[in-house]
Amino acid sequence: MRFFINNFHVLLSLLFILSACSGVSGSNQSSSQPEHLEPLVENIYTQNSFVFQGFDWLTSSDEIAEHENLQGTPLDDADRYVVEGEFPLYENIKQNMIYTFEDHQLVSGRYVFSTANPDTFDQLAEYIEQILSSALPGPTSTESEPLNHHTAMKDNHIEIRWEAEDTSTLVVNVDQYSEGGSYFLSLTLGSPMPEVKSLKEN
């Protein structure tokens, strides 16, 4: 029961609209160093499995709503909610968390960080890459190019993927919404694939 947003640019379009129109634009915390992102690893990786915000997969939306102020966003008729990020980062870094449910159960989550400042983006991306590399086992797919604004500007955005033993996943992307626009870095967490019974078991 894994759910992914296949069109990454559709999601970026949604977040761009939200930032401009609904005020879901990211943290307004005072300036701080990217080192404040260290708790991110604890929120996404525990007991050799990927999770989202510390919640187990298939946690009900009602239970999560007791802890998060979920705001509905219509997109592809999906049961998806956007929450403002709370890491104390530079004011020009917008951050959002996106919860995705199927049958009212958590199946995917995404952190999205964005800024129009290339230097700020590079500092953020470099630090996220460092903390993930030091805390996680090696990725299942590797990219030779670093995560930075130069990479984000390319037509084929970079994707680094990890898969845990239970098949839960983490995918890191960098991209640019439009030429001359903000740079985006996202971390997408996916629930484990359902077990498939062989024909011999039927």
For residues 121-144, average pLDDT: 86
- For residue range 71-92, list pLDDT tens digits in order: 766 555 668 888 888 888 888 8
Give the residue with greater pLDDT, 158 vs 102.
102
CA dist 53 → 78, 110, 119, 121, 172 (Å): 20, 10, 27, 23, 16
| Cβ pair 71, 83 in contact under 8 A | yes
Give the residue with greater pLDDT, 198 vs 52.
52
Q: Where are the domains of the chain?
A: 8-194
Phi, psi of 124 (to 5 degrees): -65, -50
Using the predicted structure, report yes or no on whether residue 22 has a pLDDT greater than 50.
Answer: no
CA distance 99 to 93: 20
